[in-house]
Amino acid sequence: MKRILSFLLITPLLFMAGCTPFVVNDIEPPPDPGQKEPAGPTEPDNSSGESPPPEEPEPSSEPEPSQSQDETVEPSTEPEPEPEPEPDPPPSFGFIDAHADTISRAMLPNRNQGLYKNNIDVDFVRLQEYDAPVQVFVLWCSDRYVSTAFSRTNLMIDFFEREVEKHKDIIELALDLEDIERIARAGKISAILSIEGGEALMGKIENLDHFYNRGVRIFAPTWNRENELGYGQAQGSSRGLKPFGIECIKRMDELGIIMDVSHLNEAGFWDAHNNSTRPYMASHSNAYAVTPHARNLKDDQIKAIIDRGGIIGFNMYPLLLTQTDKASMDDVLAHFRHFIKIGAGNHLGLGCDFDGIPTMPAGIKGVESLKSFAVTLAGEFDEDTSFKIMESNFYEFFMRYFSQPQ
C-alpha cells in the first residue's frame, strides 16, 4: 500500500525510447536472418520469569514441601536464556525484474551508450527512482557474434563492470540472496547477470564455471537458435536438449546458477525440467492459453514450474500478448488473470524484456512506467497481488532457490 502510494507521488521520468529501429532479441524466429531481437523469535523455555520447578524430591521421611515453601525456594543461579534477536524485516524493493537486454543494446555501434543515463529502455538514473530495485541484466549475442560468443560475452561483462564501478554508490552486482538483501537495505540497486543462450560457452563446460566466477547467476540454455546445448524455439517443438545441454543443467544445479527456460521449445523445457532438481524460472514468457505463441507457456508447463517452486516473469512484448506489434493494457491483464486463475499467483513476477523488444503495450514506455503499472495491477486485482507481482514473489523465489542444497 505504502509503496503503491509512493509510486503515485513520484513524478515519473519521461525518457522515451529512441524511435529508430534497433536490433531486438525477442522477435519471432528468422523471417530475416539478419533481424534478431535484440521464524519468529523462539520463546525461551521458562521465559515467564518463574523459578524452575523443584527437582523431584528423593523419597524421604521429610514432609512434602507445601505450596508456600515452593514459593520460597531459592531462585536458581542459572541465568535466564537470552531471547533470540528479532529477525530483520524483509527488505523493500521498488520492483524485481528478471529480464532486460540493456547491455547488448547499449553496446550496439549505433547506440554506444552507457548504462547510467541513456535514451533506451533502462538506465541507472531511472532505476534509482524506485526504492531499491533488483534488475536482471542479460548477456545476449546477436547472430554476428555467435562465432565469438565467449569473448563477446566477456566483453559485455567488462562493459557492465566498468559502468557499475563508476556508479558503485548507487548499484552493485548481487551474487546471492544475502547480497540482494544487503544491497536493498543500503538503498541501492541490485544488478544480477544472466546469460541468454548457451552459445557463450562455445561447447566447453568449464566456461560455465568461468561465467559463474564472473558473477553470472542465471543461464538460459538456448535462445531461439540451435546451439551446442540444444534446439531453440525456432527449430520446432520436438527436439530438445542435447547431451551437452543436460551436462550443463546438472553443473548449473551444482554451482547455484538459476536455470531460465524461457526460450526452450517444449521438448527442451521438459528435458530441462526432468534433468534439474532446483527451482527454476521462465524469465520472460506469457500464457499460451491466452496467446498461442511458441514462446509462451502451456498450462502444464506453468504447473510444473509451480510444483518445483519456480517463477515466471511476465513479458511486455506485444507479439507474445496479441501476436501483433500492438497490445493494450487489457491484453496485458488478460495474461495475469489467466496465470492467477490456474494458481500461479505466488509464482509470477516481471520479466519485462525491456531493450529486447521493438514495441511495448499502450502505456508502457520503459522502466519508468513500472510505477504506474503497479497501480494498474492494484486496481485490477488488489494491492497485495500487485506487491507480489512487483517484488515479493521473486524475493521468495530467491529465498527458496538459494536455500536449496548445492
Binding site for Zn ion (CB under 5 A): 26
Per-residue cell: 76: 536458581
Distance, CA of 290 to CA of 286 (rounded, Å)? 8
Identify the residue whose cell numbers are 521421611: 61
- Amino acid (one-letter) located at 110: N
What lies within 8 Å, CB to CB, of 295 at 6+ separation is: 26, 233, 262, 263, 285, 286, 315, 319, 320
> Cα(first)–Cα(last) distance of the chain, in Å?
37
Q: Which is nearer to Zn ion, 26 or 163 (CB)?
A: 26
Q: Which is nearer to Zn ion, 26 or 123 (CB)?
A: 26
Instruction: For the CB of residue 263, give the shortest distance to Zn ion in the complex, in Å.
Output: 6
Q: Which is nearer to Zn ion, 192 or 374 (CB)?
A: 192
Instruction: For the CB of residue 143, give the shortest distance to Zn ion in the complex, in Å.
Output: 14
Q: Which is nearer to Zn ion, 23 or 378 (CB)?
A: 23
Instruction: For the CB of residue 233, give the shortest distance to Zn ion in the complex, in Å.
Output: 9
Per-residue cell: 192: 544480477
Instruction: For the CB of residue 40, give the shortest distance to Zn ion in the complex, in Å.
Output: 41
Q: Which is nearer to Zn ion, 26 or 121 (CB)?
A: 26
Distance, CA of 28 to CA of 334 (rounded, Å)? 21
Q: Which is nearer to Zn ion, 128 or 235 (CB)?
A: 235
Instruction: For the CB of residue 2, give the shortest distance to Zn ion in the complex, in Å.
Output: 33
Inter-residue contact 3 to 334 (CB < 8 Å)? no
- Going 146 to 297 to 133 to 394, the CA torsion angle's sign is negative
Q: Which is nearer to Zn ion, 26 or 266 (CB)?
A: 26
Q: Which is nearer to Zn ion, 26 or 355 (CB)?
A: 26
CA 86, 92, 97 angle in degrees (round to 5)? Answer: 135
Residue nearest to Zn ion (CB): 26
Distance, CA of 154 to CA of 149 (rounded, Å)? 8
Instruction: For the CB of residue 146, give the shortest distance to Zn ion in the complex, in Å.
Output: 15
Instruction: For the CB of residue 356, give the shortest distance to Zn ion in the complex, in Å.
Output: 6
Instruction: For the CB of residue 380, give the shortest distance to Zn ion in the complex, in Å.
Output: 26
DSSP designation for 291: S
- CA atoms within 13 A of residue 121's CA, in its CB half-sphere: 30
Instruction: For the CB of residue 244, give the shortest distance to Zn ion in the complex, in Å.
Output: 21
CA 340, 342, 345 angle in degrees (round to 5)? Answer: 30
Q: Which is nearer to Zn ion, 282 or 389 (CB)?
A: 282
DSSP, collapsed to helix, strand or coil, labels residue 313 as strand
Exposure string over 197-230, b if 16+ CB within 10 A, otherwise e: bbbbbbeeeebbebbbebbbbbbbbbbbbebbbb
CA 9, 10, 13 angle in degrees (round to 5)? Answer: 145
Identify the residue whose cell numbers are 566477456: 154
Instruction: For the CB of residue 25, give the shortest distance to Zn ion in the complex, in Å.
Output: 5
Q: Which is nearer to Zn ion, 26 or 253 (CB)?
A: 26
